[in-house]
Amino acid sequence: MQPPFIGSAFKYVDNITYLDDSFCKGSFHFREDLPFYQAHFEGYPITPGVILIECAGQTGCIPLGYSILEKNKLTNLIPVLSNCEIDFFKPVFPGESVTVESEKVYFRKHILKCNVKMFKANGILVLQGNLSCKFLKKDDIK
């Protein structure tokens, strides 16, 4: 089962290198031509923290969540971010790649809480914290 993203306009995951129902590891390369670098910031492009959080979700929590849903034979559910407690340690600049490690804290009542860590080259910690997402039916998203 794949997350319901269409195209690449809001896709911040390239590869998932490990996935089971409690741990996920993946990577993403922040290409220099990504559109937000033109505005964030003028003359000093740096990846927005909110995009790093999205990347941590797409490269960690969401694949992990779909792995759990598949194991539990749950279908047609959409992931919605419900809680975010993230500390940032280092910036990510255009042209850098990151790896994300995501470990399940719990999955109950269709809510997945993960501990996530993002690293860039040489194992430098970029961010660490907890993300929670709810898996909802389309009709329940109001």
Partner 1 sequence: MEKDRHQIKNLFVEILKKYAKDPSLFENLNDNTEIIKDLKINSARIVDITLDIEEALDIELDDNDMDALFTIGESIDTIEKLVKAKT
Binding residues vs partner 1 (CB under 8 A): 82-83, 106, 108-109, 111, 113, 132, 134
Q: Rounded to whole angstroms, how far apart are CA atoms 97 and 101?
A: 14
Report the amino acid identity of residue 16. Answer: I
In whole angstroms, the minimum distance from the beta carbon of 133 to partner 1 comes to 8
Q: Give the Cβ contact number of residue 89 at 10 Å.
A: 12
In whole angstroms, the minimum distance from the beta carbon of 70 to partner 1 comes to 20
Of the candidates 11, 40, 113, 120, the residue annotated as catalytic is 40
Active site residue 40: yes
CA distances from 113 to 32, 34, 46, 103 (A): 31, 29, 28, 9
First to last CA, the chain: 24
Active site residue ranges: 40
